[in-house]
Amino acid sequence: MTVPAVSPPVPAVSRQADRGRSDPIRLLMVDDDRWTIRGLTAVLSGTPGLELLEPVSSGEEAIRAYRAFRPDVVLMDINMSPGISGIEATAAILRDDPDARVIALTTIAPGPGLVRVLEAGALAAVDKDASSYALIEMIRIAAAGDDPALLGGLAADVFISGNQDASVQTAVPRLTAVELETLQLICKGRSYDEIAESRSVSPATVKDHARHLREKLDAANLAQLVVKAVEYRFISS
């Protein structure tokens, strides 16, 4: 399978309508390090329910491949050269398809690019050295949509990245006690069901709180909620 030089965008609705519950998760890997691609391919090849598309090595190729094949999940390296970065490619993909599901590939000590790729719309981040189980589980969760279960360890990585916004507004949004507790559990990577069980409410109620939190903190997704929680000091290292 090769990536065409030019291909018009495929409407996102067709991807959602055509996929059935039994269809495999189509995965696009983007990284300019051939050894990383070889390692990921070795780990993921043959995984039941997972279909690997031809990997690409640049941001430009990632955008073209996404438009051509509309993968269910993209594993996106943050820093690639020459050309546009994984951050810019993620932003471009999300502009084409707001429902795109991008997972950022990071190193053991993530740099400031981590926050920028999350701000661009990535749903989560995973270390390139993560276990095969953790990687496959994250891909499967991401394929189903935005979920707090994707966020375990993300807050710690945001702290490590050292890219906390020092110019964040001094007027910190006011959260209710319930909203603050929900935000802290989301930042710990607890699933909607786990949060609901711990608070003796329904998952739908937890999702409502998460939606209100996104509105209050101006976050497009749950990963951006984590970034905002760190910036506003709602959680600590």
Alpha helical stretches, state H, 19-153: 34-44, 59-69, 86-96, 113-120, 132-144
pLDDT per position as a tens digit, 190-221: 999 999 999 999 999 999 999 999 999 999 99
Give the separation between CA 154 and CA 160, rounded to whole angstroms: 10
Would residue 162 be called left, alpha or beta, if left means φ above 0 and alpha means ψ between -120 and 50 degrees? left
Query: pTM for this one?
Result: 0.86
Closest CA to 210 of 220, 218, 222, 199: 222
Whether the per-residue pLDDT at 116 is higher than 70: the answer is yes
Q: Which residue in 141, 135, 126 sits closest to 77, CA to CA?
A: 126
Judge whether 151 and 124 are in contact, CB under 8 Å. yes
- CA separation for the pair 132, 42 (Å, rounded): 10
Model confidence pLDDT, tens digit, residues 117-152? 999 999 999 998 899 999 999 999 999 999 999 999
Q: Residue 109: helix, strand or coil by DSSP?
A: coil
Q: Hey, what are 165's tokens? A: 């916004």
